[in-house]
Amino acid sequence: MSVFSTTINFFEPHHGQNEGDSVHSSVERALRRHDTINLPSELAPIVRSARTTPTKVREITTEDVQDWKDLSRSLGILKVHQADDGKLVDWTTVKSITVRKDRLLQIGFKSSHTDTDYSYLPIDSRRTRREVVYTPLAHTTQP
């Protein structure tokens, strides 16, 4: 499978109206019906059975959790305050982020969902003093 781009949309708090809201509500109701949950592994069957149509649950392992903080620090992503088109970046107002296969050294962002085009931030490891650190596992041992 070839992926051209990945996009993450951020919604205003308490304003998201989508399928996910309904799923979260169903899961919360199902969790209230259970007195005690002792292990994280007990959550998967509860989530699966929360709706009349079973929800697909992908259980993750320790190896699936990665630490992205060091990578963003080494690339200086949060220190960039101006996009290549001159637009200033206020990370607290970003509504959408995209990474495209044809622009791997740039992160696209929008500060409004009504914007038609993304502004792009350069990600260039030459701007940093440290060598690029690729995402290590967040945990080296299982909790």
Write down the pLDDT at residue 68. Answer: 74
What is the percent of the chain with per-residue pLDDT over 90, rounded to a whole number? 8
Contacts 24+ apart (CB under 8 A), 9-13: 9/95, 9/96, 9/113, 10/94, 10/95, 10/96, 10/97, 11/95
Region 91-104: mean pLDDT is: 88
Query: How many angstroms separate the Cα of 116 from the Cα of each of 41, 80, 96, 98?
Result: 42, 22, 11, 13
Q: Are 52 and 123 in contact (CB under 8 A)?
A: no
The CA distance from 44 to 122, in Å, is 40
Model pLDDT for residues 74-97, shown as the tens digit of each residue: 777 777 678 888 888 888 888 999
